[in-house]
Structure 1
């Protein structure tokens, strides 16, 4: 008995090419970001952003290659389905009927949905933007120590951390960071804000004192403030009743 090979031809070659490229691209993006996110999650808190940069640019491409291969395999495996009824041969042809393939509607809809979600994310990041409308803004912070409490001798002993959404940054101490208000000692610092968020906080750690934290009460996309906010004590219970107030200014 002679066996004849049945050639497989895909309908809608243009759509097949588009869906194949989208599947490969989405697989590469998914693998890239998934591996980078896994590394960041396993590494723990990233105070200066170095871990995130290394995970995204150094390790992420490995996941991108794996995701690219996986995307192509998924398209070939699930994106194309074989028609149950063979295509009838042409009248002038004596070849056997061709069994064609077609695009899988569920697979195509899934790929297009994921592409639409990523397109929205790109619009949000690049057009709507999570960054402040005023660009980089400077948060001026002042801490007022209780009467009788002395300042550290070195700036290295003062640790001020500002939390903005899920990001952390150390505040800068100017050369004249040691200040006073009457007989009470004070600390002057500043840092940059750049992201839209309703969650902002500042913490102060001094030698011999527990860390104290204050919320930064600002809108998600704030304007510069006309002056300093009222003095307020930390929300954390502490015998050292250090007070904090702040002012926000635009850098341009």
Structure 2
């Protein structure tokens, strides 16, 4: 491509400008703490793209000067070419990620996929009581995308010394790394446990190590994919 150096300089400048703008916004504390979602959308979809455009023009100018041609092809023409290449690369990357997401997604995004489960055990503090019936316990997986009710597995309830252990599972219906498990037992304080699984939640055959909670209880868990045990 004619003037390929200028176009490449513009593409690199756009990427650097986008990232640099986000870093600057973070450093200056941009955003409304009361409405972080809208602040994030404004930063990602308005301010950062403006920074990318500024970086694109600057990158094109620098590449032109490095080549020793002050106006080779015209700054505007080369900037537009760099912009078109940048948009094409973003579209290709977005399409590739979408295809990957659909191919590996859980059933609510891809009906032909298997449904993984979060299998867990919670070891309550000493002196706490096991729930007597399904009405006495509520389990909910909370994510940044959805909320999913869980199922207690009374056949796996037991005592570990003087500490009762409750068990259950819940579907991992969406791929996200932002998960927490809420456990409510009648006449006990509500408990919230962060779930440190990756977005794809790969299958493991054994429960992980016990993780302490602020109230003195502990949780351990694993992701279980159908047909893998």
* TM-score normalised by the chain length of structure 1: 0.45
Compare CA radii of gyration and give the structure with the larger one: 1
**Structure with a larger share of its residues in helix:** 2
